[in-house]
Amino acid sequence: MASNRRALVTGASAGIGEAFARELARRGFDLVLTARRADRLEAIAAELRDRHAIEAVVAPLDLARPDGPEALVAALASQGLHIDVLVNNAGYGVTDYLDEQPWSTHAAFMQVMMTAPTELIWRLLPGMKARGYGRIVNVASLAGLVPGSAGHTLYGASKAYLIRFSQSLALETLGTGVHVTALCPGFTHSEFHDVNGARQLVSNMPSFLWMDAPTVARQGLDAVEAGEIVYVNGRVNRVIKALFKLLPDRLALKLTEREGRRFRLRRASSPHP
């Protein structure tokens, strides 16, 4: 059990984030849960308090706010709450080509996907080092390890950033008691595809490509505990990563462009609610 250890999970109201909260509670960690949906966070926190006899604090927050990470860490400090485990999970996807969305949409996306997790680590890392214990899981994606695709211009790029950032940070924290892992799941059952409007389309994909969120979370915590710096969930995803690594860049991009074009055509022809 994780006596007196506390974890902060971003995007904890559903999907992989909720699964991380549940797995951490099962392992005995106290929790700080943050996301935009306060009612959903409260319900999860109440359930986990009762089931696992842990403390669970709710901190509703939109990480698209530039002052969000600073405000969150300041609020925790004012309550005397230190963070031993950070799971940077909050995220979403923006569809359409780069110039088809207003800049404000892209700015908010980059704030949530790259700036906020980096700032949270910058603010919480000194305390972890001082206590000689810390676990940081940056939820990246298989998309950060394969060529980028049209229509999701910044998604793969943001995940590639998290992977490279995690690798550098892991080297910087060697010997401090802090472990850093970039977690790279592929298709995972969650609300992600409902938010970006692709649920009906991706539901037609083969079942062997999919994983469930609790498995992803459990593997992620095991990986960071073991000191794995980059962990790809699932055999199928590891095979996909290996294949793209072996392919020449030109061929890999051509395959990605072809499959991306097929996906966009199917999406354009699929009925919308």
Structural contact between residues 150 and 260, judged by C-beta atoms closer than 8 angstroms: yes
230: DSSP letter: E
Residue 155 annotated among the catalytic residues of the structure:
yes
The pair phi, psi for residue 210, each rounded to 5°, is: -100, 145
Amino acid (one-letter) located at 104: S
Collapse the DSSP code of 80 into the 3-class scheme (helix H, G, I; strand E, B; otherwise coil) and give the result. coil
Are β-strands 178-184 and 134-139 bridged in parallel, bridged antiparallel, or unpaired?
parallel
Distances (CA, A) of 141 to 4, 32, 266: 31, 23, 23
Which of 92, 97, 133, 155 is labelled catalytic?
155
Please state, in angstroms and rounded to a whole number, the distance separating the CA atoms of residues 66 and 112. Answer: 9
Structural contact between residues 109 and 94, judged by C-beta atoms closer than 8 angstroms: yes
**What is the Cβ-side half-sphere exposure of residue 65, based on CA atoms within 13 angstroms?**
11
Structural contact between residues 89 and 123, judged by C-beta atoms closer than 8 angstroms: no
Catalytic residue numbers? 155
